[in-house]
DNA sequence: GCTGAAATCGCCTAACG
DNA sequence: CGTTAGGCGATTTCAGC
């Protein structure tokens, strides 16, 4: 899988589609400096090789009635692989949990949760999360405001580290 | 701004575009059960009213050479509004920091960072983040693996709480 | 192999009912 | 909101580098 490499045009395509995932192919081809057919072929190849995972609209959570975002730091009693996986399986079934990252250190998982209001989050917290098997402790922090939210990766950092292409 | 309301078709549109932001308008119109022109008008309206913020391709960070993701918990010495804003301004200029959330409690900010490797993150950590004005302490946690990563909000939670439409 | 040009097909997007 | 219709983008085909 790491045998596939990208040239500067591929990286430009990825950067452009990360910034605007609904851009038309002709506009994209214009921006990366090639004609439309090869541009479309490259996009399809990037999708099939997994460099592009998916496309999503970013919606305004608060306007839609999701007024609270909470980070939950979870520690488990057992860190055996089967128990870690079991917890992750459980997390995937909870719609309020949007992200789950396994961490090093004392905290085993950090969960990013979104809920309509505090009371619905708290009923999830006490009724589901802390009540789940193997959960030792949960520390929650309410998000007061969002200072930055950029999707994906910083391609400019990549460009200044790359010697050459494919 | 809260005067604008959404009917079930609008919510379906948002859910579909959150799940697949590159869907064609005719496919979208088919899924929500109306014809293409009014569907497009609704999408444009949702974009202009800010319910749809933007569209993004989700890329494979690891394949692209961003091997490490780190959560940084930052505490500041002063929590005066001017100092909080000054820190947020600084964060926006750091490409490695993809998200910055202000929290309640002892930790003032949680930062989600992405870097090509540990050494480049650590040079950012010591050279930029902990060296920034007003930063009292920074605790970092390396992401071992990702158990879940869903975009945006859980529309199914919304549906089971909504009495009626516009 | 790759790209680019031409042609076809389908979608987008006005205008109107 | 639906239908019609014209213009544009998407996608295949084919020729050239």
Q: Tell me the average pLDDT across B52-63.
A: 96
Residue B46 resides in a domain: yes
Instruction: Report if residue A61 sits inside a domain.
Output: no
Nearest-angstrom CA–CA distance, B146 and B115: 16
Asked if residue A52 and residue A73 are part of one domain, the reply reads no
From the list B53, B56, B64, the residue with the least C-alpha distance to B114 is B64
Query: Of the candidates A135, A113, A164, A150, which has an alpha carbon nearest to the alpha carbon of residue A18?
Result: A150
**Which position has the token pair 């998916």?**
A54
Interchain contact B12–A (C-beta under 8 A) = no
Note the pLDDT of residue A1. 40
Return the pLDDT at B3: 45
Say if residue A144's pLDDT is above 80.
Answer: yes
pLDDT at A16 over 90: yes
Instruction: Flag the least confident range among A2-6, A53-57, A156-160, B71-75.
Output: A2-6
A100: buried, middle or exposed (CB in 10 Å: 19+, 13-18, 0-12)? buried
Gap between the Cα atoms of B57 and B59, Å rounded: 6
Q: Is residue A165 part of a domain?
A: no
Residue A155 counted as domain residue: no
B40 touches strand D (CB under 7 A): no
> Are residue B24 and residue B76 in the same domain, yes or no?
no
Are A43 and A102 within one domain? Answer: no
Give the pLDDT score at B4.
Answer: 58
List residues bridging with A113 in a β-sheet.
A70, A97
- Summarize the confidence of residues A122-139 as an average pLDDT: 98
Cβ-defined contact of B61 to A152 (cutoff 8 Å): yes
Residue A30 is part of which domain span?
A: 1-56
CATH number at residue B43: 1.10.10.10
Same domain for B87 and B44? no
Q: Are B147 and A102 in contact (CB under 8 A)?
A: yes
Bin B46: left if φ > 0, else alpha if -120 < ψ < 50, else beta: alpha
**Which residues of A fall within a CB distance of 8 Å from B21?**
21-22, 55-57
pLDDT computed for residue A163 by the predictor? 55
Q: Which two tokens stand for residue B116?
A: 């090509």
pLDDT bracket for residue B166 (50, 70, 90): very low
Chain A interface includes B118 (CB < 8 A): no
The mean pLDDT value for B7-26 works out to 96
Residue B112 lies in a domain: yes
Q: Do A55 and B156 touch (CB under 8 A)?
A: no
Strand partners, A103: B143
Pick left, alpha or beta for residue B50 (phi over 0 → left; psi -120 to 50 → alpha; otherwise beta): left
CATH code for position B133? 3.30.70.920
Q: B109 lies in a domain? A: yes
Contact A104 B142 (CB under 8 A): yes
CB B27 within 8 A of CB A28: no
* Cβ B28 vs Cβ B43: under 8 Å: yes
Give the span between the Cα atoms of B114 and A101, in whole angstroms.
Answer: 13
Those residues with Cβ within 8 angstroms of residue B148's Cβ, 6 or more apart along the chain or in another chain: A88, A91, A92, A97, A98, A99, A100
Looking at the structure, tell me whether residues A51 and A74 fall in a common domain: no
A41 CA to C1 C1' distance (Å): 14
B52 and B11 share one domain:
yes
> What pLDDT band is residue A13 in, cutting at 50, 70 and 90?
very high
The predicted-structure confidence for A26-49, as pLDDT tens digits, reads as follows: 999 999 999 999 999 999 999 999
- CA-to-C1' span, B96 to C4 (A): 38
**% of chain B residues with pLDDT over 70:** 95
Contact present, B135 and B84 (Cβ < 8 Å): no
State the total domains in chain A: 2
Are B48 and B90 within 8 A, CB to CB?
A: no
Say yes or no: B132 and B72 in one domain.
yes
Residue B72 lies in a domain: yes
Provide the mean pLDDT of chain A: 93
pLDDT band at B1 (very low <50, low <70, confident <90, very high): very low
Q: Is B115 on the interface with A (CB under 8 A)?
A: yes
Q: Is A117 near chain B, with CB under 8 Å?
A: no
- DSSP assignment of chain A, as one string? -TT----HHHHHHHHHHHH-TT--HHHHHHHHTS-HHHHHHHHHHHHHTTSEEEEEEEE-TTTTT--EEEEEEEEES---HHHHHHHHHHHHT-TTEEEEEEESSS--EEEEEEESSHHHHHHHIIIIITTSTTEEEEEEEEEEEEEEE--S--HHHHHTT-----
Domain shared by A84 and A134, yes or no: yes
Contact (CB<8Å) B99/A156: no
Residue B25 in any domain: the answer is yes
Q: What does the block give as tokens for A37?
A: 């057919």
Task: Compare all CA atoms of chain B with the CA of A107 and give the residue at the minimum distance.
Answer: B141
For B56, which of A21, A63, A97 is closest by C-beta distance? A21
- Under 8 Å between Cβ of A123 and B78: no
Strand D–CB B12 distance below 7 A: no
Give, as ranges, the nucleotides of chain C with any atom within 7 Å of a protein CB: 2-6, 10-15
């Amino acid at each position: 899988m790491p045998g596939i490499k990208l040239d500067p045009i591929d990286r430009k395509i990825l950067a452009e589609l990360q910034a605007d995932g609904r851009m038309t192919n002709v506009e994209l081809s214009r921006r990366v400096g090639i004609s439309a057919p090869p541009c479309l072929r490259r996009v399809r190849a990037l999708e099939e090789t997994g460099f592009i995972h998916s496309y999503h609209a970013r919606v305004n959570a608060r306007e839609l009635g999701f007024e609270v975002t909470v980070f939950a730091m979870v520690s488990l009693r057992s860190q055996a692989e089967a128990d870690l996986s079991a917890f992750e399986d459980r997390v995937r079934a909870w719609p309020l949990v949007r992200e789950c990252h396994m961490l090093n250190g004392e905290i085993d998982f950090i969960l990013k949760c979104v809920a309509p209001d505090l009371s619905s989050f708290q009923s999830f917290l006490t009724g589901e999360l802390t009540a789940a098997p193997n959960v030792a402790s949960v520390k929650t922090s309410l998000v007061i405001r969002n200072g930055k939210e950029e999707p994906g990766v910083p391609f400019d950092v990549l460009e200044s580290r790359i010697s050459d292409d494919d």
